[in-house]
Amino acid sequence: MYTVDEAIIVEGVYDKIKLSRFIDAVILTTGGFTVYRSGDMIKTLQRLAETTGIVILTDSDSAGFRIRSFIKQSVRGGRVLHAYVPDIHGKEKRKREAGKEGLLGVEGMSEDVILDALRKAGATVNGSAQARKPEKAITKADMMRLGLSGGAGSAELRAWLCGELGLPMKLSANMLLDMLNRLLTLDELTELCSRGI
């Protein structure tokens, strides 16, 4: 059993059941889009962000990103981390058909993938947080210089990079920049981009 100090926010009850099998943490569900109408849930998330911190772990589909964005905009201050599961095509065992976008949700991910996502986000797993703070942060200008934004082929290079790093393809430029600064130094990013598509 792994312990996570921060509260983990997932979309549904099956996600919570999955995580509860191998993670000892406060795990809350948003009830999908129900979180939009729940002022009490937002107050709880705000309180947790200010005390233990929260990790948002939603599916990598469009709905998951909308829920993540809503929580990010609603919870101001405190410690809010973003854990991303990669785009893996398939369907969960309990479902007859894959979702609209054909991607596995959190409940369909392996324990290793989930733990990797939590660690990459900077969550405190078993008393240790792996998030790095590079001496010199990667900037939007660096992303442009490396061809990751603002030019021909930048979307394809970002998609390739996300695949290499095990991140979902739907990351906005700002979300990607945040994750790059958690995972890589500028030199490591430059080297990786030079090997790109």
User: What is the model's pLDDT at position 149?
Assistant: 87
Domains identified in the chain and CATH numbers: 2-129 (3.40.50.140), 140-194 (no CATH)
Percent helix, strand, coil in the chain, to 5, is: 45, 15, 40
Band (11; pLDDT cuts 50, 70, 90):
very high
Sign of the Cα torsion 59, 96, 31, 1 reads negative
Axis crossing angle, helix 154-165 with helix 173-183, rounded to the nearest 10: 40
Per-residue pLDDT at 147 exceeds 80: yes
Q: What is the pLDDT of residue 131?
A: 58
User: Which pLDDT score, from 0 to 100, does residue 123 have?
Assistant: 93
The mean pLDDT value for 104-115 works out to: 93
Interatomic CA distance for residues 181 and 132, integer angstroms: 8
Q: Rounded distance, CA 135 to CA 121, Å?
A: 18
Q: What is the pLDDT of residues 18-28, one digit of tens each?
A: 999 999 999 99
Report the chain's mean pLDDT, rounded to a whole number. Answer: 89
Q: What are the pLDDT digits (tens) for 167-186?
A: 998 888 888 998 898 888 99
**pTM for the predicted model, two decimal places:** 0.82
Residue 132 pLDDT greater than 80, yes or no: no
Cα of first residue to Cα of last residue in the chain, in angstroms, is: 39
pLDDT of residue 197: 63
Over residues 35-50, the pLDDT tens digits come to: 888 888 999 999 999 9
Higher pLDDT, 16 or 129: 16
How far apart, in Å, are the Cα atoms of 28 and each of 19, 37, 137, 179?
A: 11, 16, 32, 23
- Is 56's pLDDT higher than 80? yes
What pLDDT, in 10s, does the model give residues 77-96? Answer: 899 999 999 988 887 777 77
What is the per-residue pLDDT for 136?
Answer: 79
